[in-house]
Every structure is written in structure tokens, then in C-alpha cells.
Structure 1
Amino acid sequence: MKKISIYLLLINLLIHANLSAQNLVKETQTLGNCSSYKIINNKVIFNCENNAKVLLQFCSGQVVKIWVSADGTFKRLNESFAVVNEDLGWSGNVNVNEETSAYEIFTEQLRIRVNKFPFKLQVFDKYQKLLFNDYNEKGFVKNNSHISSYKTLKSDEQFFGLGEKAGSLNRRGKSYKMWNSDQPCYGVNEDPLYKSIPFFMSSNHYGIFFDNTYKTEFKFGSESNDYYSFEAPAGEMVYYFMYGNDYKQIIQNYIALTGKPIMPPKWALGFSQCRGNYTHEAQAKEIAAEFRKRQIPCDIIYQDIGWVEGLQDFDWKKSNYDNPKQMVKELGDLGFKMVVSQDPVISQVNKKQWKEANSNGYFTTDIRTGKSYDMPWPWGGNCGVVDFTKPEVADWWGNYQQKPLNDGVRGFWTDMGEPAWSNEDATDRLNMKHNLGMHNEIHNVYGLTWDKVVTEQFYKHNPNKRVFQMTRAAYAGLQRYTFGWSGDSGNGNNVLEGWSQFANQIPVGLSAGMGIIPFWTSDISGYCGDIKDYDAMAELYIRWMQFGVFNPLSRAHHEGGNAVEPWVFGPEAENITRAAIQLKYKLIPYIYTYAREAHDTGMPLMRALLLEYPNDTETYQLNGQFLFGRELLVAPVVEKGAITKEVYFPEGEWINYNDKKTVYKGGQWITVDAPLDVIPLFVKKGSIIPTMPVMQYIHEKPSYPVSLEVFPGVANKETSFLLYEDDGESRDYERDIFCKTKFTAVTNQSGFTIKINAREEKGYKPAGQRNYIIKVHTLNKPKEITVNTSKIKKVKTEVLQKTADADFEKISYSWDDITGIIYVKIPDHGEENEIIIN
């Protein structure tokens, strides 16, 4: 009997397994065969089995929207949160060529082939090279609500992007999730993190934006060497294919879809200081005075969340601030801008505002009770989560946030917008309902909807002023509203062991840039960990600062009461960090020019080398260095005790920017010296770098000499730089009110020809009088220099430098034997000048 019972049990299990398998087959849907199509203007709809349809929408000759609808209805719960423009230049109808086994559509750049039996999408370039290919019949797979798309993986294909992700720059062989998560002290391969940007680029000349806000997942060959996939647990299979000759073109196509990055105020590109307990008036004044006394440039002092009386009433905490408006004014007189934090919640302790929001239905609700969702919060007690997807919330929030702005505060950092404590393991949050949908759909865009309200309300209340807003949690398209920082980095267990987390901030930042977060910073020093031994911490702080000054938004920040001002680490650290910060301020004209380029093209200031050298496969693995703009290469030291750095130099010749003399030939790895006080920094031979005098804050002096460092290139090849300038504060740049000046330099047999082109003024010109100081780095003493065919007078270098900001009429030159620099001082009247150096 015992044996019979076992046999019956086994038979029963087999029957159930077979039935389950049959049910799984029924639940799994692919597209099957394609039987017909219909053209509607720039759209082609293909009809497949089981009522499924595939829509191809030609936004341009390079950008194609692919929408697979399992039931053929093409319905979405919400319009795209990221895409703002699908009309990218396509005009007229689409022509479909039908063959026996396939349909073909041609653009100027692409050939799209749709195989009929079964449906299979293929994209070729105009030279018939296959770029993008559905993997067998699995271009679309649906199982219940779960959707997937599998693509053929080429053996040499590499992937980059997905925004701010930890780990190596190259995504090949790895998998990633999109679920905005509060991950303090995150590891070097931890995933997911704070932001969800489901946009990636392939070395095979295309990019994909998977416009699905659920917990999407990307598997770049982690399951097989034959295919990669992107998938979501729910929602629609909508993605955009973007072709590009290089990564830059792909990025330009992406921002054409999702919007241009806004430019920060110019002062935001200076240095800023923060700390977890920066929440006191006396402390802010003391810190500001110390920066000025020690002559360490600084533009921004932050206030963390404890500045408020209650979350989030935007009222100054009475016990901490005696006269906040006067405090902000006094700081402003010293050149400091104050930025304060805000959280997206209202504490139940803050009874007046909580009751107001609750009665108006401004909170997310709990589907189990129908009441406002009760959210535990790291501080301030339990809170209501403000529902920024509800239109009525915008003006209400905007009126509140305007209060500190009316006191002179210059901007916000929007913190905890995941919303915090809503990570993957916090499944109770899935009971939260927003105006536009359930939390599983809205979670990843929650921070974006908040940032949108913050910025649009800022513009409404402060016409024609640029917003400063730096955010932690976001979705694709954030560049239209906000800037970013990388969250709570560092080692919380032992702050002195944070070197690997620090090193990982380089690829995190470069990846953020490729997700169109061009204005970004890491928390200099790392946010996490108690600092108990400042002498021991000094080396890590110095190296982080040497990296951090090349973050477009340079912010030193640490948790709690852990001070991270330069002077607390001792005199050596103070001097080294002062020099690093001063270097950034010298480079502001260069940095600001690239800030405008970021707005126009989406190209980040911190650039992975593959963006400029896409055909150099060595750049695919470069996680420890980057380009700053096009001309400068930065290779921060990220190892404890290291006094050298292995640097890869791409094609061309590269000059040590520190000594302005040592030359390295490109196409090879070289070990360079990097003692503690040296940032490995290099300039490409054949470059012009505009700089300005060191100031204690941006535009401390409204007019100042602009120096042009010329590093002559090879004979007869022109070197150029197009300097961009505007008022730095208004939104006039969006209306193309600015000025540009082009500088060129050519090396010839007799010397150099340098040309200052006439300034192109579009409603703006620099304030006051100023000179250009041309600094030509050469070992050859000049025999004669002419400006516009007239010989100019030679003076001593110290005389020329003394008159650089005083004499706006005389033209002169000098030669420095020790440095090998030719100086030419020439007044800037906005006119064309030609300088010939023999």
C-alpha cells in the first residue's frame, strides 16, 4: 500500500506539473506571424497574431518609436513623463516595400526590415550593416503582465548608460534594475540606486530609451552571450531606437526627445560647503567668515533639513535662527548664496500644515483604508507623502517654498525623493495610490514630478531667474528641471576605508553624464561615516577634493556633525585643497562655455573618454579618468598612499597642465608622478584654455582680464576655442541672448598666428573694460610680435601683469625665460585682432 500511495502521489504531481506548463504556454504571448500593415502619416501599424500589433513611428530619419501592444489597443495609463517631443523632423508619409517574407522601410540613414514569419524587427544602417536585431521570435514576450524584449547580442557589442549606476562604465555582462532606492553608503556594485534613467547606448551605433516607469530590468548578456534583454513587470512595451554615427549624436537625439538640460546660475559652478547639521544662523556666519579669512573661494553654503520648524513648512526654526533674512543678506554681502533642503512630505507633528494637506487630498492614499498613506520618515515622525501628480498641489507647494526665497535663499536641494524608505524590500509602499496611478507605476517618477513642481513654481514666482535645484531621486527627463548629486556615498562602517567607494564615484559620475545629468556632484569626503581622526582622514579628503573640483557642482558634505571644511584637516590639507579650489575658479570661463554646450547638445562636462574617442576600444574600460570638456584630461588618484597614477592617453599629444611642459604621446598607458599635492591633469596639444583670475566667489569683480592659455599644435593646423558668455543669472540664455568670441591659433615656420575674432553679440556684452592676456606656452623666445601689422612694445612680465586689470588702451608683450611663456596684453574692444609672433 505504501508503494502504491507513492506512485499515485508521483502521478498526481506529474499531472499538475503538466497542467501548469500548459497554462504557462497559454499565458505566454509572442507576436507570431505578421499578416498586414496600415500606414497613418509617419506611423506604420503591423498586424500580428492574437490581435497583437506593432507600431513604428518615424520621429526622424534616425529616431524610431516602437510600441508593441499585446491586445492591439495602444493604450497607456499615463502619457510619457520623459518624452516631450516626438516631432524630430520627419515630414510626409512612410513608404513600405512589401516582399514575400518581409516588409522594408527606408530612411536616409536607416533600413528597417520586418520579417513576417514570425514577426522580427531588424535595423540596418544605410550601408546594410545590421545594427539591431530581435532575438529569434522573442522580440516581444508577454507573460501575464510581464513584458520582455530580447535582442541579438553581438560578440563585440558593448553597452553604456542607464544614468547614475554603480560599478564599471561598461555594462556588458551585467544586469540592472530601475527602482529609485535610498541606499546609504552604497557598495561599489550595489543596484538599484537613487535614479532611474532607462536609456543606454550600444557600441553598435544606436541607443535605446525604454519608456516604462515600472521596475524595469536590463540584462546585457548576463544570461547568455547570444542575447540581451530589457523587461518590465507591467506597463507597455514602448521604446525608442536612436541611431548615431557616434555617441554624441545618439545623445543629441535623446535630448531632442526628452528636452535640453537647463543651465545653472553661473555661481553654482563654484565651490559649495555643507554638513548634516548645518542648521544654525551663527554657524553659517562663522563658516562664511572663516572661508573669507582663509581666502578659500566658496560660493554656496547649504542648510540641511533641520533648518525648518516642521517638515515641510518652509519656516525657519526659531530656536536656530534669530533673523534669517538678515543672515542671508549678510552672507550675500560676502558673496555667499544660501541653498536649503526640502523633503516631499508633511510631518503629522506639523499639525496645521498636515491638516491642511490632508483635508485637501494632497497626500497619496492607502488603498486599504482610503486615508492618507502613513509614511514612516527618518526624521520628523510619521508623515504624509505629498502627491505631486495632483495638479492642485503645485500652487500650494509653490507658495510654501517661496517663503525662504523671499528671504533671499537662492535655491533648493530636493532630498529623499525616492521617496525614502521605499526600496525594493518595502513592499507595503505598493499600497500607496497617487493621483496618476498606483505606486508601482509612479515610484520611479515620483522625484521627477516633485522636481517639476519645484522648478515650474520657482519660475512662476521668480520670473526670468534661473533655478538652482539639485536632486537625489529622478527619472529620465530630469535635465529639464534639475541637477543631480550621487547620494550617500562613502563607508559608514569605517570612514577611513572609503577609498573604493570614492574610486567608484568616477564611473558613477561619468554614467550620470551619459544619462543627461551634466551638472552633477559627488559629496566631497563621502557622506557616510564618523570622522574620529582628522589627520588620518586628510589624505582621502584631499584626493576626493582633487576629484571634486572637476565635478561641475562641487560640494563638500558629510553626515551629522562631521565637519569637512578644508581647515579642519590640518594646514597641509587646507593649503592643498585651497589650491585645488582656486584651480577650479581659474577655469570658470572654460567651464561655463561647456555649461552652454551641455544645454545645447546634452554633452556632459565630465566626459567618459569614449564620447570623444568612440573608435578607441581602450576607452570602454576607463573607470579611473575622464575628460573635462574636450581639452582637459583628469586622472584623479583614488588609492591610499599612491604617489603615481597609471594614465591612458588617447590619440594626439598631451601636455602636463601642472608644469605646462612635459609631453606624453597618445595611444598608450603611462605612469605619471602624482604626489599628494598634485592632480594628474593634462591638456591636449593644440588647445586654447580660457581662464580668469582667482576670486573668492564668482564675479566678485564684474570685469576682469580673460587669459587665453595657448598650447600650440602641429604646424599649419588651426587650434580654436569659442568662448561663451552671458549674464549668468537670467533665463535669457534660453532666448539666445549671449555673446561668443572665437580664438584661433596656427603654428607656422616662423612662429604663431593668433586671431581674436570680432565678438558675436546677441543682446549681451561683457560688463566694463577688460584685457585679453594671451599666454603662449613655447620654449622659443620671440624676436618680434605684431598686432594688426604694427609692432608692439616689449615690457617686463611683472609690468604686464600689473597693468592687466588697469590699462585698457596699450598693447604690449613680455617673455618669461623661466616658464617659457610669451605674454601678450591686448584690450578687448570686441573687435578683430591678429597677432603674429615671429
Structure 2
Amino acid sequence: MTDSGGPGSKECWRATEQFSKNFETVGPLSYEDQFLQVHLRLSSTFLYGLGEGMHSSFLHSFHNRTTSPLFARDQLTYEGDQNEYGVHPYYMVLEDDLGTSHSVLLYNSNAMEYSTFLLNDGTPGLTLRTIGGVLDFHILMGPKPDHLIAQYTNLVGRPLLPPYWSLGFGLSRWGYNSTQHVREVVARNKAANIPQDVQTLDIDYMQNKRDFTIDSNETWSDLPNLVQELHNDGVKVILIFDPAIATDLTSYPPAMHGRDSDVFVKWLSSDLVPDDQCDGCGDYLVGRVWPGDTFYPDFFNPQTQQWWTKEVADFHKVVGFDGMWVDMNEPSSFGTNVYSIMCPQNQWDDPPYPTKAAHIVDNVSKRLRALEALFPGRRPFVLSRSTFPGSGRYTIHWLGDNFSTWKQMRLSVIGMLEFNLFGIPMVGADICGFSGHPHQELCTRWTQLGAFYSFSRNHNMQGWADQDPAVWPQVAQVARDVLALRYQYLPYLYTLLYLAHTEGGGVVRPLLNQFPGDMTARGVDDQFMWGSGIMVAPVLEEGATEREVYFPQGAWYDLVTGAPVVTGGPTNSRVQAPLEVLPLYVLGGVVLPFQHPALTTTQSRRNGLGVTVAPDEAGEACGLLFWDDGESQLDHNNNNNNNNTFLMHFNFTQNELTGEVLQTSTVVDDLKLQTVQLLGVSQSPQGVTVNGVALSQDLWVYDSLGGVLLATTDLPLGERFTVRVDY
């Protein structure tokens, strides 16, 4: 990093033969009390990140000057350059043809915006401006995109490892009219053999939409019984909690307790309290959310954590929920045109309040701490709408209130890729859309895509009909098949999330992460990968029964049939994709752990495991399996001696698969490695040996048409093994 001559001018160089610049200021630097601005010359137009917003492409455009705000707000996900629920002033640039990359975080929580444009000499420019704080830049040097994810999460915090059950499919909606309605939805999906691990309940269950209450009429009064019934079927229950507490200080205990502990946000001074402040509300800041007049818990106040934890614990004694969904935490108020809330008038009109800097930093960690106290030793589940750099340590994320349109389904892929870049790898959109009535084709295609969101949930809003998969026979059939595939490869997804948690690896990745030197891959944002192994190419256009798929260089196989698709490349290929088909592929060079699926992860985790071996062009492959009890906290201080976690490394070379135990554990004592599926077998094998012993010929079968060998091994999972194919 050097001064480049002018006041405030800086340059950062990469020490390579070409000494490429990856941070270069141009033009004047503005640094005032309420206006900070810096102009940057970027090393290429391959710019990604900066959110949260509804970006039309993963790759930013420079052809026309575009300015986009960054400020957390409760906003339906309309298309266009507008701010959404979270703030992530973080971007990545691919510098050259080799894919050398760097990234930059502007660590600032004030309202800001950015502009992309071309400088007078035709090089790409980026302007970052904010109304407070400091210009605290963190420059990460990569040199590859996956390295940047590891470096970034090392800086802001590694993402949490979610409980295994949360990887399963979930049903939800705002608009369940009773516990009986929920029972009917769950029953019809179970009857259709559609997997379900999670049932989420929106504000319908509350009394007058107040946190920590149950509607006292007969439609919801038996909620505790419903929760127990779902638990008996292996289904977990998530309840919504909005950080907005009704201002009833006479008959609503959470508000009364909060007043007694003085945990609500206050006006800076009493002379700022509006004239129309509600009776008894004192100098608390009052907004309007679902319960009506509301107080906002001040989660920067240490007392608030104790109050919140106790309210959560007391309510859990009534309803045994398993996780927490935090909505409306931007924060939000419906009453911007109802209340006379306004900033005091002075020479600035809008003074530098401390609250302005804190607005976009919701303390979601406090919600997690409450659940940790409730479930000691277990990994809590928190789903948050608003996020900030580092939120991945505490929460997973969904992309907010979307619409039931093909365009919004398409944009959800971009949102998922961006949040993996932001260090929040478990993310997804409301499958079939939150607002609107999806027709059968749209919901079918969205269910296929949603089965490969890292967080998979069908959710919609009040006023629209049920849209769970079992509503339509055709959607039910597709959901049954595609969710079975999801559940089959959950051990692989879980391993990816473990690596993200421990090392910072990518989970849902753009093709450019795997192929950073591939110029075509840099613009592909309608395909994505799970790790380095599975590529998903969803159908995102109405009426389409085929699509163009880009295959970067490598050996590619069909995930479902195992048959080879492309060897060599790179190439574009038009593939058939009738309504019941989701194009899925495996990149050669990986060993994918899988498990025979079931209707819940409680059931599937008892089933035998297997591996899909997909050799690369050199005939080699490798992979990893992480396994534990699915819910216990990991012991990072003594991980090598942690008997709760199991690690096995797989390596395939010279026609032999080896499984080496890296970390042993009793959690796999009852599990077997039952199946080995080897792809790319071009000639009929003479035999298969397991640990040096010939496998009976009736325990393996070779499909010459697809080039797939399937062997039944029935090996103890916790022991080293070898499986050799002889020709």
C-alpha cells in the first residue's frame, strides 16, 4: 500500500511480475462529518458483490452509470437498484485472465451508496459514499475466489454450522387459519411422500400478533399439542418472533417486564418525544408494527439480553419450539406517515445521531444467545431477514418477500450466490414466491430449484391460496423426486457447511469460483454448484422444455443416471429438460457421500451411506465426509479428541477407492457404507475386491450403457477400507 500523490490517494499493488493494482483511488477524497466519498479505479470489469439488492446479474455492469443504495429496510423485493433487508459493503474483483482475485470490505454501518461507471479513459470505476463513520477498508488478496471466501470469513467470522435437521425441506406460510389447517397441510404432503423436516409458523398463532403469546380462541389454543404431534413425526417447529413489542404496559407481561428492566430504545432526550406519544409510553421510541403501537428492544443494552432470554425461555415452557425466525429486524415501522417522528431541525437538518450508524446492525447474536441458553450444548437455529458483515456467525438467511414470477425465481439464484460471497452460505428464497398465486408450471420449476437452495423452504403470504407441493398432483410428483435427491446428498451438503464453518470454504458457488480463468464462466449466473462437485442448471423460463447449459473444462456426468455427458470442453450444450426434469451434473474429480433418503432426516440419518465416485480425465477423484450427531456444539478447542465428530477422506486412483478415517467417533458405530457407485467405467470389470477380498458377483452390477458400476459393500463406516475394480 502506497500513497499515490494526492491528498488521501492510495494504491495497493499485488507483488507479481506485472505488479497489478487492486486498490487505486482516483479523483478527490471527500471526508466531512456527514459525507465521506472515495472513487476507485478497478483492475477489471469483473466486479461482484455489494448488497443486499435485487441485482439482474451476478456480474455488475459499467456501461451506464448506476447508483445503488445500501441501507437496511423492510421492502418487498421489487426489481431495480434499491436497498433491501441487509447491508454488505463488500465486493470481489477478478483482476486478470488467470482469475487472480481480490476483495474489499468497507466496514461501515452508516447509510451508504455505490456507483459503477467508466472513467474517461474507459477503465471501470467504483464510487463509495457514506454519511458517517470512517473509511475502514479491508483488502483481501486471494489470489483465487475461494481463497477470498476463507479470508473474508476469517475476518468477519466463520459461518455457523446449522443443525442437520434444518437442511431438510420446510413448509411455512403466513395465513394458516388454525392448528387444524397446519395438520391438514402436513398430512397431505406426508400422504404424497414428500419429505418434510421443518414446519414454520408465522404471526397467525399469536394473540393480537404479539410476541410470546398464543391466540386464545379455539383455532390456535392447542398449539402445544400440535408441536408435540409434529415432534412425534420427526418434524421440527420454527416460530416467528418480531423484535417489536406491543406498548400495552398494563396487561402484556413482556412489555411490562421490558419497562421494568428499561430495555427499549429511547429518544435521545425528552424534548424530542413527539407530542402524540401514546399514553404511558414515556420517552420510549414508538413505532407501528404488526401488534400496533410498539417498542423496539435495544439489543445494545446488556439488560436486554437477560430480558429477551427470559421471555424466550418462559414461552418455550408453553410451546416447545425448536428454532427462531426473526423478521422485521431492519428495523421496521409501518407508521412513517402516522406518527410525527422526525429529526430535530438545526443547521444540518439531519444531525449525526449514533442511532443512524446502528440502524443497519441488528444484534441477531442476541437471539442466538437466547437459544443457546435454552438448548445448552446444542447448535441453535436462527433465521434472520436483516444481515450485516459477520451475521453468518449467528444466523442463516432467506431472501425476503418475493413475488411469484419467473423473473423473481431467476433473481433468487443471484441472491444465493451473493450471500455465499458475503459469508452466509445457508440461504434460499421463498419457493413458489411469497406474494401472488403461482401457476403449476412455475411452482414445479421453483420446487426443482428450491430443492438445491442450501436453505429450502416453501412460504407464502396471507390472502393467497396454499402452495405447498401436495396442492397439485404434478408438483407433488416432481417434489417427491427432486427432494429425494436433495435428501440423498444431504451428507455432502452438510460436509460443505462443516468446511465453511471450520475453514471458510464455499458452499453454493458460482462457476467462476471453480473455474476463475474461464471467461465465459464469469458471466454464468443461471447455473450454480454445490461445492466443487454438483452443478445445478435449473429451468428458469416459462414453457421451456430444454435449456442451454455451459460446461467448463472437465469430465461431466449426469447426477441422476451417472452417464457421461461431456469430456473435455469447455462447451455449451442444449439439453432436454421436460417439466419433470431438473438438469443436474457431477464434475469429475470428486467423491460425493450420500445417504439413502427418507421423509425426515431423523429417519434418513439411520440409513446406510454410500459414495458416488466421479473420476476426472486422469481417472482420479477425492472427497470428504463429516458426520456427527447433527446438533451438538463442536469443540473447537479440543477438536482432535472430540468423540462427537467423524471425518473420513476418500481417494480414488488407479481403479482403487480408499477411505481413510481422519477422526474417529462413536457416532458412526451403527452406520454402514453400503454402496459404492463408480461413474465413467468404459469397459466391463472382471471383478470387485473389498479390503482384498473378492466381492460376490451378485453384489455388484455394471451398466454398460451408462458406464456405471454399482457395488454393495456393507462396510463399517468407522473403519479404513479399500474397494478395487479389476479389469
Cross-structure match for 1:21:
none
TM-score, normalization: structure 2? Answer: 0.89
Matches within 5 A, 1:108-257: 112-115=1-4, 118=7, 120-127=9-16, 129-136=19-26, 138=28, 140-154=29-43, 156-167=44-55, 168-173=57-62, 174-184=66-76, 186-204=77-95, 205-221=101-117, 225-226=122-123, 227-257=125-155
Is 1:415 the counterpart of 2:327? The answer is: yes
- How many angstroms does 1:113 deviate by? 2.1
- Structure 1 residue 288: deviation in Å? 2.4
CA contact (8 A) 1:132 1:151 kept: no
1:364 maps to amino acid: V
Q: 1:213 to 1:516 in 2, by over 3 A?
A: same
**Cα–Cα, structure 1 residues 557 and 769, in superposed 2: closer, same or farther, change >3 Å?**
closer
Match of 2:301 in 1: 390
Matches of 1:687 and 1:426 in 2, distance apart? 58
Alignment of 1:781-800 (within 5 A): 781-795=684-698
- Cα distance, 1:817–1:614 mapped onto 2, change above 3 Å: closer
1:276 and 2:174 matched: yes
Deviations 1:496-535 (Å, cap 9, x if unpaired)? xx11111111111111111111011100011012x3xx7x
Alignment of 1:537-556 (within 5 A): 537-556=439-458
Q: Is the 8 A contact 1:513 1:603 kept in 2?
A: no
Residue 578 of structure 2 aligns with an amino acid whose one-letter code is P
Contact 2:288 2:334 (C-alpha < 8 Å) held by counterparts = no
Offset of 1:698 from its aligned partner?
0.3
Among 161, 182, 186, the alignment partner of 1:263 is 161
Cα shift readout 1:228-262 (whole Å, capped 9, x = no counterpart): 22111122121211111112222222111111111
Cα distance in 2 for partners of 1:169, 1:579 equals: 29
Residue pair 2:200, 2:239 contacting (<8 A) in 1 also = yes
Whole-angstrom distance in 1 between the partners of 2:505 and 2:335: 31
**How far has the Cα of 1:764 moved from its partner?**
4.6
Code of the residue aligned with 2:58 in structure 1: it is L
Aligned mates of 2:610, 2:668 — CA distance in 1: 15
1:598 maps to 500
1:345 is aligned, of 231, 244, 248, to 244
Q: Deviations over 1:646-695 (max 9, x none)?
A: 11111112122233224124312221111100001111123322221121
> 2:701 is matched with which residue: 805, 814, 823?
814
Partner of 2:710: 823
- Following the alignment from structure 1 to structure 2, what is the Cα–Cα distance between the partners of residues 263 and 426? 42
Distance 2:8 2:225 in 1: 68
- The size of the alignment, in residue pairs, is 683
d(CA) in 2 for partners of 1:528, 1:824: 47
Matched, 1:380 2:291: yes
Q: Which moved more, 1:690-699 or 1:302-311?
A: 302-311
Q: Does 1:405 align with 2:316?
A: yes
The aligned amino acid for 2:599 is Q
Over 3 Å counting, the alpha-carbon distance change for 1:627 and 1:190 in structure 2 is same
Q: How does 1:48-67 map to 2 (within 5 A)?
A: none
Q: 1:583 to 1:295 in 2, by over 3 A?
A: same
1:477 aligned to 378, 390, 396, which one? 390
Distance 1:423 1:178 in 2: 22
Measure the CA separation in 2 of the matches of 1:428 and 1:687.
61
Structure 1: gaps (5+ residues): 1-111, 796-811
Residues 1:307 and 2:205 aligned together: yes
- Aligned AA (1:135): T
Shift of 1:601: 3.2
Match of 1:710 in 2: 613
1:44 aligns to what? Answer: none
Q: Which secondary structure does the structure 1 equivalent of 2:325 belong to?
A: strand
Could you say if the C-alpha distance between residues 133 and 163 of structure 1 is closer, same or farther in structure 2, counting changes exceeding 3 Å? closer
1:443-592 alignment runs, 5 A limit: 443-445=359-361, 447=362, 449=363, 451-490=364-403, 495=404, 498-529=405-436, 531=437, 537-560=439-462, 561-569=464-472, 571-592=473-494
Q: How many angstroms does 1:176 deviate by?
A: 2.5
Q: Deviations over 1:115-146 (max 9, x none)?
A: 456553221122261323443453x3224520
**Is the Cα contact below 8 Å between 1:179 and 1:193 reproduced in 2?**
yes
Q: 1:580-605 CA distances to partner (integer Å, 9 max, x unpaired)?
A: 11111111111111111121233342
Mapped to 2, the partners of 1:547 and 1:540 lie a distance apart of 11
**Of 614-623 and 408-417, the range deviating more from structure 2:** 614-623
Cα distance in structure 2, aligned partners of 1:519 and 1:423 = 32
Letter in structure 1 aligned against 2:650: F
Alignment partner, residue 17 of structure 1: none
- Map 1:547-696; keep pairs closer than 5 Å: 547-560=449-462, 561-569=464-472, 571-665=473-567, 666-696=569-599
Contact persistence 1:159–1:171 (CA under 8 A) = yes
What is the one-letter code of the residue matched to 2:468?
E
Aligned mates of 1:339, 1:117 — CA distance in 2: 55
User: What's the RMSD between the two structures over aligned residues?
Assistant: 2.5
Could you tell me how far apart the structure 2 residues matched to 1:528 and 1:118 are? Answer: 50
Which ranges of 4 or more aligned residues in structure 1 deviate by more than 4 Å?
Answer: 115-119, 222-226, 422-432, 816-820
Higher mean alpha-carbon deviation, 504-513 vs 199-208, is at 199-208
1:745 maps to: 652
Separation in 2, partners of 1:157, 1:427: 45
Encode CA deviations 1:47-94: one digit per residue, 9 max, x unaligned. Answer: xxxxxxxxxxxxxxxxxxxxxxxxxxxxxxxxxxxxxxxxxxxxxxxx
Q: Give the secondary structure class of the aligned counterpart of 2:25.
A: coil
Question: Judging changes above 3 Å, is the alpha-carbon distance between structure 1 residues 133 and 331 closer, same or farther for their aligned structure 2 residues?
Answer: closer
Q: Report the equivalent of 1:362.
A: 263
Equivalent in the alignment of 2:189: 291
Question: Contact (CA 8 Å) 1:702, 1:768: kept in 2 or not?
Answer: no
Partners of 1:766 and 1:424 in 2: CA distance: 55
Question: What's the offset of the Cα at 1:473?
Answer: 0.9
Q: CA deviation at 1:286?
A: 2.5
With 400-409 and 736-745 compared, the bigger mean Cα shift is at 400-409
For 1:388, give the aligned amino acid.
F
* Aligned mates of 1:257, 1:711 — CA distance in 2: 34
From the CA coordinates, give the structure whose radius of gyration is larger.
Answer: 1
Aligned partners of 2:67 and 2:81 also within 8 Å? no
Shift of residue 701, structure 1, vs aligned partner: 5.0
**Structure 2 counterpart of 1:484, which letter?**
H
Question: Does 2:332 align with 1:442?
Answer: no
CA contact (8 A) 1:706 1:772 kept: yes
Question: Structure 1 vs Structure 2: percent identity of aligned residues?
Answer: 24
Q: Partner amino acid for 1:439?
A: T
Tell me if structure 2 keeps the 8 A contact 1:146–1:232: yes
Whole-Å separation in 2 of the counterparts to 1:823 and 1:241: 48
* SS across alignment from 2:466: coil
Amino acid corresponding to residue 145 of structure 1 in structure 2: Q
One-letter amino acid of the structure 2 residue matched with residue 345 of structure 1: A
Considering Cα pairs closer than 8 Å and 6+ residues apart, tell me whether 1 or 2 has the greater RCO. Answer: 2
